[in-house]
Amino acid sequence: MKKGIHPEDYRFVVFKDTSNDFAFLTRSCAPAKETIKWEDGNEYPLIKMDISSASHPFYTGKMKLVDTAGRIDKFKNRYKNLKK
């Protein structure tokens, strides 16, 4: 890898899947606005995400629909009159 192009400020961060409350601790340099108390009693920055390996259909083998912004309803409403 090239030297000097990667960030140096890696720290422990908790990533939390908002669809099923799955969380894991790893190192990241992503910015976080919130913190969370982890299982070890320490407080870490929290990054919330909509989908993770615990909820993604490829990893779970289940088709689970996560529609956080109502995009599917907007799409159906937009194209409901175009039925053949």
User: What is the tens place of the pLDDT at every residue in 50-60?
Assistant: 887 777 666 66
For the chain, give the mean pLDDT: 83
Domain that holds residue 24: 11-82
47 in a structural domain: yes
Contact yes or no for 13/44 (Cβ under 8 A)? yes
21 in a structural domain: yes
Q: Which residues pair with 34 in a beta bridge?
A: 46
1 in a structural domain: no
Residue in the block written with tokens 């194209």: 79
70 in a structural domain: yes
What separation in angstroms does the CA of 25 have from each of 8, 28, 40, 50?
18, 9, 11, 16
Q: How many structural domains comprise the chain?
A: 1
Confidence of residue 84 (pLDDT cuts 50, 70, 90): low
